[in-house]
Structure 1
Amino acid sequence: MTLRSRFTLFTVFWLIFILILYNIFVYFFVIRVTTRGELQLLANKADLVIETLRQQGMEGIEDPKLLSDLYNFNEMMRIVTGSVKVVNMVGSDEQLLSIPPQMQSFYLSETRQIGGQRVLYLSVPFFEQGHLIGTVEAARRLTVLDSYLQILVGALSVTSIGAIVFAIFGTYWFTTRLTGPIGQMVQTMREIDRSGKLYRVKLNGREESVELQQMVRAFNQMIDRLDRTIEQQKHFVADASHELKTPLTVISSYADMLKRWGRDNVEVRDEAIEAIAKETERLQKLIRSMLTLAEAEQDSWLSISRFDVAIVVRDLSEVLGTTFQRDIRVHSDGQSVMMRADKDKIRQLLMILIDNAIKYSKEPIDIRIRINKQGIKLEVTDYGIGIQECDIPYMFERFYRVDEARHRSTGGSGLGLSIAKKIVDLHDGKVEVYSKPGHGTTISIQLPRNGKVSST
């Protein structure tokens, strides 16, 4: 069953249920109010008869005018004395006159069925000096009231049926508008599945609900993101193919050279072996970087723990400074700077930034650890050749090269800064680059605080 049918049936069912309860309440409420009015009319006539008798000293009980002045064509009135004898009666309805007389000392009112019609019966006793003298009885057919009730039932039925019909068509129309964008998204997804191309759902000019607009926008945002991801994957595959093709071509060329002349020529053999080893190492670095970027897309790539980032920076700077015989200076706001992050990934991030600084400068390298309101800031500064301003926005793209010749000479894979940017993004951080050609470069990493950074 479709959502439209379910919603329509649900709405109509509850509307019918509510209408039934409402109609029952109105019907019995009208009966109660109108019957009470009729009863009050009979009670007033009985009280008037009793009051007249008291004024006359209980004389004239059998006087026909006592009751005839109060008589109505659809009523019966009579006075019954102590021996259950009708001493005075007025009325023309045989069925009402045939009601057995009663002599009782209490007030009685009830509704009876006589001849298929409702009849209101009333019995009011009257006393003299504490002794029961008689009873004034009255009966009244509720014919007019019942005819009004029939009209009321008809009116309620017609309005209820009209409301149900209106609810069916109105709900169907409303659910059609409600499920329209959903149907468009389903159709779009089927078209995507059929053609393999990404399509977006268009919002019509009609007024849609805020929730539906948000749903359509979220769907379109998802499609846009998928589109960007697919395009990035295409570029990545193309760039990776190009990067892999170069060392493989070099290796193949030198291997062919070895086959032809390397057996007898020592110089050719040594050159080929060195070139193959160099390109193989470069190829291994490239593959490791590509695998690192692939792993970074997984949710479980980070392993969060609490550690002292100042110690990590000092240890790494000491190792790299000793290895490359470079002066790497560490400046920190405190001896200990605690933070919650992935220790290994932060170390990898710093290694990439320091390695780049070592490659592109000969001067000492400064690393600063600052604590601010936003969290912790790491800055790596070199005083080398710098970067052109037009190249800065593209530095963290995969395989982007500021200088092809420089890239080849350093043996980089073109993925280091992309990995660094991915690590920063996964930690909800920000990266900024400040550089001036000939004066050096500063890469600033801001990691969020969120109660996870402290200093002692």
Structure 2
Amino acid sequence: MKITTKINIMTTAWILCVLVAVNVVVFFSFMKVTVNMEDQELYQRANTLIKEMKLDQSTNLVKDQVIPYLAGQSFIRIVEPGSKITHEVTNAKLISAKVKPKFVQKKVAERKTIHQKNGEEEILVIRVPIRSDGKILRSLEIGEKLSGLELAKDVLLSIQISSTVLGALLAMLGGRWLSNLIMRPISNMINTMEDIEQSGIPKKIVIQHETRDELQKMAVTFNRMIGRLEENLEKQKQFISDASHELKTPLTVIKSFADHLLRRGIRNEADALDAIETIHSEATRIQKMTERFLDLAATESATLLETKSLDLVVLCGNISKQLQSAYKRDIHLHFAAPSIMVTADELKLKQAIIILIDNAIKYSTDKIDVFLNVNEQNTVIKVKDYGIGIPEYEIKNIFERFYRVDKARSRETGGTGLGLAIAKNIMKQHHGEVKISSKEGVGTEAELFLPKSERKENE
């Protein structure tokens, strides 16, 4: 069953239930109020009759005195103890014959339904005690056919039935309109998804009206998701294009020297060794580049971090010693406190720090300083070199993949242009950031910011 049909049926059923409940309450309230009004009218008539006739033990009920109090089809009786009728005046003998007399000591009202040839009729009977000298000697009994009530009841029932049927029809139309209104953006989303499935091309939903409700929010969220998907697809295309371009050069060199060896063989040993060394160098570049590709893909796709509490001073000290030993360069570590604790993924944070120090080693020949500081919001790791620096107009591009400031020097040092992109992704996973400031010919400062709030949440 379609959702629109379910909504239509449920709204119609609910409105019908509400209408029926309201009609029942209205009907019984109307009957109660109307009968109470009839009761009060008959009680008033009975009290007036008793007062004007001034009945006592020796007074006889005179027909001429009572007839003016008859209204419509009714009867008036005087009933003595033992429920014996002493006087009766009526213009509806069939009704009076159906109602048995009853002596009462307090006033009561009774509604009776009597069956006649032409159907059922409602009769209202009130009984009022007649007092004389503080004693109850007789009771006055007035009965009247509720012809107006029957008519009003029939009219009310017909109106309620008609309004219920009309309400059901309007509920069905309203339910259909409501279901269509609710389902329109969902249907648009379904159609858009089907188009995406068939064409393989991301497509956004066209939002025609600003409804500012959950449905519009769903459509906006879908469009935002499609936007990110398009952005990721574009990044993938750009990544493939850049990677292909980067791999093309070393593969061309390898193929060229391999062809050279195939043509000339190894008769010239020096020439052959030079070709083999070049092939080995370019193959090593491809291997390092592939490893960088994998690192970049891992940092872009992975969102879970294996965080733990670690001492940044100890971590950076170990990194400095390893790189100092490997590259024979002076790396000086400066820290604001003997122990600076952070909560982070140790391997990924170490990778980001190594990328910054590695870049400093490649693009400088002097010493390298590493500073560890803590401010109100962040723990800051700053790597400062005194090398060639970066032109100001180049700084905005350095986080792009495969981008190199000095392309010739990067090839000599084995740079791929992926390091800072990887470091940026790692810090993004830690809800931090990377900042680069540089002055050409003076040096470069690279800073990693780890927010304190993130550490506290992880702890």
Using a 3 Å threshold, how does the CA distance of structure 1 residues 8 and 83 change in structure 2: closer, same or farther?
closer
1:51 CA drift (Å): 4.0
Counterpart CA distance in 2 for 1:314 and 1:220 is 47
Partner of 1:163: 167
1:128-148 deviation per Cα after TM superposition (whole angstroms, max 9, x unaligned): 467542221111111111111
**CA distance, structure 2, for counterparts of residue 178 and residue 209 of structure 1:** 13
CA deviation vs aligned residue, 1:77-114 (integer Å, no higher than 9, x gap):
11122354422222211222213323344544221112
Structure 2 distance, partners of 1:413, 1:367, is 23
Is the Cα–Cα contact under 8 Å of residues 67 and 89 in structure 1 kept in the other structure? no
1:30 partnered with 2:30: yes
State whether residues 8 and 172 of structure 1, in contact with CA within 8 Å, keep that contact through their aligned partners in structure 2: yes
**Maintained 8 Å contact 1:200/1:223:** yes
Match of 2:355 in 1: 352
Shift of the 130–147 alpha-carbon distance from structure 1 to 2, 3 Å rule, reads same
2:309 equivalent to 1:306: yes
2:205 corresponds to which of 198, 201, 204: 201
Q: Would the alpha carbon gap of residues 92 and 316 (structure 1) be closer, same or farther in structure 2, given more than 3 Å must change?
A: same
CA root-mean-square deviation: 2.1
**Which 5+ residue runs of structure 1 have no aligned equivalent?**
none
Aligned residue in 2 for 1:46: 46
Q: Distance in 2 between matches of 1:160 and 1:154?
A: 10
CA distance, structure 1, for counterparts of residue 265 and residue 352 of structure 2: 42
| Aligned residues of 1:15 and 1:164 also touching (Cα < 8 A) | yes
Report the counterpart of residue 94 of structure 2 in structure 1. 95
Equivalent of 2:449, from 432, 440, 446? 446
* TM-score normalised by length of structure 1: 0.93
- 2:79 corresponds to: 80
- Return the alpha-carbon distance in structure 2 between the equivalents of residues 137 and 261 of structure 1: 139
CA-to-aligned-CA distance 1:388-447 (integer Å, 9 cap, x gap): 222212211111122221221111122111111110111111121111111111112211
User: 1:3 is matched by which residue type in structure 2?
Assistant: I
**1:71 equivalent in structure 2:** 70
| 1:248 to partner: Cα distance | 2.1
Could you list the per-position Cα deviations for residues 339-397 of structure 1 after superposition, in whole angstroms to 9, with x for gaps in the alignment? 11101111110101000000001121111112112221111111111112222122111
Mapped partners of 2:455, 2:84: distance in 1: 102
Name stretches of at least 5 consecutive residues in structure 2 with no aligned partner.
Answer: none
Confirm or deny that 1:330 pairs with 2:333: yes
Matches within 5 A, 1:406-425: 406-425=409-428
1: CA distance between counterparts of 2:83 and 2:171? Answer: 60
Q: Which amino acid aligns with 2:255?
A: S
Match status 1:211 vs 2:214: yes
1:207-286 map, 5 Å: 207-286=210-289
User: Does residue 389 in structure 1 map to residue 392 in structure 2?
Assistant: yes
Determine helix, strand or coil for the equivalent of 2:455: coil
**Aligned pair partner of 2:155 in 151, 169, 179:** 151
Amino acid at match of 1:195: S
d(CA) in 2 for partners of 1:134, 1:185: 84
Residues 175 and 391 of structure 1, relative CA distance in 2, 3 Å threshold: same
Aligned with 2:317: secondary structure?
A: helix
Shift of 1:172: 1.5
In structure 2, the residue matched to 1:21 is: 21
The residue type paired with residue 23 of structure 1 is N
For 1:370, the equivalent position in structure 2 comes to 373
Q: What is the identity, as a one-letter code, of the residue corresponding to 1:181? A: P
What is the CA–CA distance in structure 1 between the aligned matches of 2:55 and 2:18, rounded to whole Å? Answer: 57
Which TM-score applies when normalising by structure 2?
0.93
Query: Counterpart of 1:452 in 2: which secondary structure?
Result: helix
Amino acid at match of 2:376: K
Distance across 2 between alignment mates of 1:153 and 1:73? 24
